[in-house]
Structure 1
Amino acid sequence: MPAASPYLLCVAPMMDWTDRHCRYFHRLLAPEVRLYTEMVTTGAVIHGDRERLLGFDPAERPVALQLGGSEPDELARAARIGAECGYDEINLNVGCPSDRVQKGRFGACLMKEPALVRDCLAAMRAAVDVPVTVKTRIGVDELEGEDFLLEFVDTVSESGIDTIIVHARKAWLQGLSPKENREIPPLAYEQVHALKRRFPELNVVLNGGIVTIEQALEQLEQVDGIMLGRAAYQNPWILAELSGALGLPSAGSRHAVVEAMQAYARLHIEGGGRLHHVGRHMLGLFHGQPGARSWRRMLSQNMHRADAGPELFFDALPE
């Protein structure tokens, strides 16, 4: 396995999931995991409510801001704002296949314009001192295969980036929903392995389909890092287990995490928030354990109540 890098273990940016409360929770589980925001468009960063969109707890660091956009100047400006807000990395989304993203000419459709991706990344790098990275697929529509991926990265790497995160599935821009694009196109790990062999100087992080410790360790024999997506959300304790397997710090117990999240939720509620903003990310904490069903049921049935308080987390604990 390669020497530990900042990208050894990452949690993928996931729309509607990896908000600031989710990231705080994941940080408790795995103190050194690299966390990513949901994708934020350049327009939202430049013109929107920055505290709501970009605010985060310092405890989340290291945390990366993922941007969606295709105009180099706007991406540079948004990257600068993100760096000023304290983000440790700025990541460009070149993998999302949703219709909304396509209409904005960014996400996975940018794989069809590698020179533009290169120029966007170069502009971002010139604007900030923190690392700039890209998250992509192995192909898009009819553009696929190992040769295409290698040529794409060859062009993109001219920007000077040193890290690329690859979801090891191609994207179909027509005919498949974003959910189907995460499940139906077959995984092709060997293409990501070939990418690392062709570009040994790059940090290559593999994303897609990793759901067990054994799979993660096997992939780390071939690449520099792995990125967990749905597995980290649906079974978050895997982050603690995998951190331990990699010799990284990890949470001591689920109950200790619940205690810390109770204190966090109390502060959130005192600031005008609601318990379900925090609790919805914790439903999978006891996945596979005795009492997991009662934990989920107790939270699901009660955390949306207007008077729900952080003591609900203790009340829901499995016996």
Structure 2
Amino acid sequence: MINWGIVGAGRIAHRFCEALAQDSRANLEAVSCRTLEKAKAFQEKHPCNKAYDSFQAVLDDPEIEAVYIALPHLYHFEWVKKAILANKKILVEKPATMNTAEMEEIKDLVKKHHILFMEAMKTRFVPGYQEAKSLVSEGIIGELECLETSFCGKVDYNQNSYLLDIKQGGCLLDLGIYNIAYLDDYFKVPLDTVDVTCKYHDCGVDTYVKAILNFGKQTGIVECAMDRNKENQAVLTGTLGKMIIRPIHRPLDLEVILNSGEIFKYHIEYDHDDFYSEIVHFNDLIENGQVESTIMSLDHSINCAKILEAVREMM
């Protein structure tokens, strides 16, 4: 049995624990929050042995083998480092860090201490995404020329939300990281140029970002927003046709439109939900004694951080 501890009991941690319960190898051992009241409320919804009012208490618990860090973005780096020193296996929500330097430091630390670490980019593990990747690799749309991504939605702003925190908020960090992960996964040459258009909330955070990125002869387009609705999808255009993936962050539907006029449609359900396959993969890594994922490796996370940083520098 793999004993898990939760660091941060926000909305996404609830969804994670619902999926965790579906893997019979996993046991939710403890949850931690900033107050004991909130930790116990979480414990009532997701039964576990311990509720802590300290994140450090989870790391100090010798019965916990793996931790899921679901804190706001700004605190990921700090608590990942503490989890490494506590010898825990680490699954941290995306973006794993706020910049490339932090991610490179994490890589050095996990290599030094032989710790399993993975950024929780759930998209890569859902069956629909895996099928899309396989079809593109087999050449169904020919050579990939352009990858256009859109992840937009109107947000009801809570003035206390981290989304409006100038240090860690905005649509690029919260939504655009999904778009950027597509570019990292499909483009295998370094980023050349970036052109960015953006809009801002009165508090200073970005509410709309559109970036055009050139990777050699390939073009990536990242569009994300908290102030408008738009089709949330990835469109991969190749020399033989295009593939549309919907929704971008947890694909269920694929549509292939070939230049020949042929159209193929695929609907691929999740295994349980969109978190489950990621959890199964991570638990597999633990069971097999591995310290790194090949699907979402340390270098994948570093490259995502580099692309994210390149866009932010142009905003």
Higher helix share: 1
Which structure has more RCO (C-alpha within 8 Å, separation ≥ 6)? 2
TM-score by length of 2: 0.30
Higher strand share: 2
